[in-house]
Amino acid sequence: MSGRETPIRGSVLVADDDRELREGLVDVLEHEGFRVLEAADGPAAVETIRSAPRPCLVLLDLVLPRYSGLEVLARLEQERPERVRVFLMTGQTPAPELPPGSIVADVLIKPFTLDALLARIRRFLAEPG
């Protein structure tokens, strides 16, 4: 933790097939006070969200093995009764257009800085509702 901020608590799922990126995000988020779950492919992301207590946020890569990030989004919207909020991570520019009412709260274009990610997470968690 940086010392400038109070710890933010809650659980976050990091779903990315890039092991180095995923593990780096896990380390940073745990250091910031989150309980972090991880998934290396689409089916693991869906199963983790089905079986674990609802995370406050999912960091979801657009390109995942077996189910794409968009397929994971569709499954979550169908299968999870309460809304799970997602930050979609992608190297694609421009980012894909999302349907109205999507569970995507933000889109992060790779590469992004950890400071920028944490600022966006803090801002998102501070928003009402």
CATH code at position 67:
3.40.50.2300
What is the count of structural domains for the chain? 1
Band the pLDDT of 54: cuts 50, 70, 90.
confident
For tokens 């946020």, name the residue: 57
Which tens digits make up the pLDDT trace of 67-112?
A: 999 999 888 888 765 677 899 999 988 877 877 778 888 999 999 9
In a domain, 26, yes or no: yes
- Whether 31 is covered by a domain: the verdict is yes
Q: Which residue has the tokens 């990126």?
A: 21
HSE (side-chain half, CA atoms, 13 Å) at 101: 4
Cis status of the peptide bond prior to 111, with omega within 30 of 0? yes
Range of the domain at 34: 11-126
**Is residue 1 situated within a structural domain?**
no
3 in a structural domain: no
pLDDT tens-digit series, residues 12-34: 999 999 999 999 999 999 999 99
Residue at 40 is within a domain = yes
Among 19, 18, 82, 27, residue whose Cα is nearest residue 55: 82
Q: Over 60: is that where the pLDDT of 43 sits?
A: yes
Q: Decide if 5 is inside a domain.
A: no
Residue 71, domain member (yes or no): yes
Q: In the structure encoding, which two tokens stand for residue 62, read together?
A: 């657009």
**Residue 102: inside a domain:** yes
